[in-house]
């Protein structure tokens, strides 16, 4: 039934011929331009409002509240989370190594995305996250439809990028959203009616010129922590774990097979952060309607008690600490935030190993196909698999826990684009670079190729 529905969902056709790197770059650029532009186009009939309390959610879901990209990648990520859990717990018995099951997985995912587009659009409007300019039922319906259509467009954009472009649309939109935020917060030259420009770097120089060192420091601190987190994540992302293997034919020429320490990369963080963002959103909307099961919220939509309060962290914990506003409550929230990320990230990391074909069996196949084996053992994928299986699950757990910790910890620094956002962006850009380096190198212009070879 769901499969029949899935076939009804419009999709983007796969290219029938090989497409050049240049063409892929072109499509990626076009989609990026349209996506970013949509973020600056307000919904028709929406009550203008600030969404500062949803800053974190907007970074993680590549969304811009009140615009056509209000839902961002939310529906895609929600559908993915639900399916991962269903397949991972075997409620949905799919074997993703089989092509026909994989195809079914994709159809289910499509139906899920369409469902969440309409579901999220309706909840955002009906529960008051997005308010109509007037309580007119026609306007409310129009808003829901605009949000849902925006979500569906993002789904199609994602398909265009993964089939005709480079990498995945979801990652591209997150990275672009975070970089946009960093640039606008840092460089914004407009004053918007106040005395000084909104950008932190212009502010820094003006404060410095006025001799107000303390304000200048407060302005530049987020910029500094942004840069520090970028360096930290680049470094951690480069850590590898080497498993001893040897060439089958010539003994003695040992080789190590490097696996990334952060084995499942940023996927667990995308999923757990999206879950947190959705919990906060849902909690605020439910409390607004008098059902505070996830906690209570103040007028600005910040949590003040309950479950959500103890897993979210007030922005720029480090600033509160520097200004001496320390309390045991703050410490408890920081702890809750870290725990939520670490545990969630481990769960999604383990699930992702299965769904993405990164398990011992698949990696063993890949290794033996290029003629490597474990020293002292026969050449047999099952033996490689046995050795690998000792490493891969612990690696998925440790890597997942570590990346979850880092994503939570980075949020305490008050960096531009949020700590989690920067972590995701750095890993996305690096993965993007690796994809280009492996797949499209030979097609590149020599000058560009030289750059990519480092």
Partner 1 sequence: MVAAKPDKEEFKISTKIVLLGMALLGAIAFIIFIIFQFISWL
Question: Which of 184/350 has CB closer to partner 1?
Answer: 184
Question: Which of 79/410 has CB closer to partner 1?
Answer: 410
Nearest to 126 by CA among 110, 112, 139: 139
CB of 97 to partner 1, least distance (A): 26
Question: Which of 106/434 has CB closer to partner 1?
Answer: 434
CB of 268 to partner 1, least distance (A): 19
Question: Which of 208/241 has CB closer to partner 1?
Answer: 241
Question: Which of 241/330 has CB closer to partner 1?
Answer: 241
CB of 274 to partner 1, least distance (A): 20
Question: Which of 137/376 has CB closer to partner 1?
Answer: 376
CB of 199 to partner 1, least distance (A): 10
Question: Which of 102/260 has CB closer to partner 1?
Answer: 260
Q: Which residues of 259-293 are buried (b: 16+ CB within 10 A; e: fewer)?
A: bebbbbbbbbbbbbbbbbbbbbbbbbbbbeeeebe
CB of 33 to partner 1, least distance (A): 7
CB of 180 to partner 1, least distance (A): 3
Asked if 187 and 201 count as a contact pair (C-beta separation under 8 A), the reply is yes
Question: Which of 15/394 has CB closer to partner 1?
Answer: 394
CB of 39 to partner 1, least distance (A): 8
Residue 41 burial (CB count, 10 A)? 13
Question: Which of 175/317 has CB closer to partner 1?
Answer: 175
CB of 71 to partner 1, least distance (A): 19
CB of 446 to partner 1, least distance (A): 18
- Cα–Cα dist 353/10, whole Å: 29
Question: Which of 104/449 has CB closer to partner 1?
Answer: 449
CB of 429 to partner 1, least distance (A): 4
Question: Which of 145/441 has CB closer to partner 1?
Answer: 441
CB of 378 to partner 1, least distance (A): 23
Secondary structure string (H, E, C) spanning the chain = CHHHHHHHCCCCCCCCCCCCHHHHHHHHHHHHHHHHHHCCCECCCECCCCCHHHHHHHHHCCCCCCECCCCCCHHHHHHHHHHHHHHHCCCCCCCCCCHHHHHHHHHHHHHHHHHHHHHHHHHHHHCCCCCECCCCHHHHHHHHHHHHHHHHHHHHHHHHHHHHCCCCHHHHHHHHHHHHHHHHHHHCCCCCCCCCCCCHHHHHHHHHHHCCHHHHHHHHHHHHHHHHHHHHHHHHHCCEEEEEEEECCCCCCEEEEEEECCCCCCHHHHHHHHHHHHHHHHHHHHHHCCCCCCCEECCCCCEEEHHHHHHCCCCCHHHHHHCCCCCHHHHHHHHHHHHHHHHHHHHHHHHHHHHCCCCHHHHHHHHHHCCEECCCCCCCHHHHHHHHHHHHHHHHHHHHHHHHHHHHHHHHHCCCCCHHHHHHHHHHHHHHHHHHHHHCHHHCCHHHHHHHCC
Binding site for partner 1 (CB under 8 A): 32-33, 36-37, 40, 175-176, 179-180, 182-184, 187, 190, 230-231, 234-235, 237-243, 256, 258, 261, 391, 395, 425-426, 429-430, 432-433, 454
Paired tokens of 62: 């590549």
């Amino acid at each position: 039934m769901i499969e029949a529905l899935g076939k009804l969902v419009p999709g983007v056709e796969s290219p029938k011929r090989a497409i050049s790197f240049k063409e892929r770059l072109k499509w990626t650029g076009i989609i990026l331009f349209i996506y970013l532009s949509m973020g600056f186009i307000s919904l028709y009939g929406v009550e203008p409002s600030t969404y500062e309390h949803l800053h974190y959610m907007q970074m993680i879901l590549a969304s811009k509240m009140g615009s056509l990209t209000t839902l961002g990648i939310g529906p895609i990520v929600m559908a993915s989370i639900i399916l991962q859990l269903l397949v991972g717990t075997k409620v949905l018995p799919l074997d993703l190594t089989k092509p026909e099951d994989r195809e079914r997985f994709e159809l289910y995912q499509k139906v899920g995305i369409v469902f969440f587009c309409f579901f999220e659009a309706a909840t955002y409007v009906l529960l008051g996250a997005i308010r109509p300019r007037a309580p007119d039922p026609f306007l409310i319906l129009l808003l829901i439809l605009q949000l849902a259509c925006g979500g569906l467009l993002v789904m199609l954009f994602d398909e265009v990028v993964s089939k005709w472009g480079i990498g995945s649309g979801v990652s591209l939109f997150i990275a672009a959203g975070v970089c946009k935020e960093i640039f606008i917060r840092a460089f914004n030259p407009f004053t918007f009616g106040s005395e000084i420009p909104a950008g932190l770097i212009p502010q820094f120089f003006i404060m410095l010129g006025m001799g107000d060192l303390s304000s200048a420091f407060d302005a530049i601190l987020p910029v500094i922590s942004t840069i520090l987190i970028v360096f930290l994540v680049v470094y951690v992302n480069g850590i590898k774990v080497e498993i001893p293997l040897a060439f089958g034919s010539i003994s003695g020429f040992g080789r190590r097979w490097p696996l990334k320490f952060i084995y499942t990369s940023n996927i667990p963080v995308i999923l757990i952060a999206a879950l947190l963002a959705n919990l906060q959103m849902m909690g605020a909307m439910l409390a607004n309607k008098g059902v505070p099961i996830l906690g209570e919220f103040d007028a600005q939509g910040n949590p003040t008690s309950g479950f959500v309060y103890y897993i979210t962290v007030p922005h720029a914990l480090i600033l509160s600490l520097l200004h001496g506003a320390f309390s045991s409550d703050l410490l408890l929230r920081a702890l809750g935030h870290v725990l939520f990320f670490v545990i969630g990230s481990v769960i999604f990391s383990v699930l992702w190993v299965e769904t993405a074909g990164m398990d011992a069996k698949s990696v063993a196949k890949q290794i033996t196909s290029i003629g490597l084996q474990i020293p002292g053992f026969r050449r047999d994928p099952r033996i490689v698999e046995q050795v690998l299986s000792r490493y891969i699950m612990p690696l998925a757990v440790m890597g997942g826990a570590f990346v979850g910790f880092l994503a939570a910890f980075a949020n305490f620094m008050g960096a531009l684009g949020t700590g989690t956002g920067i972590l995701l962006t750095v890993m996305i850009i690096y993965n993007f670079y690796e994809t280009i380096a492996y797949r499209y190198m030979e097609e590149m212009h020599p000058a560009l190729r030289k750059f990519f070879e480092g």
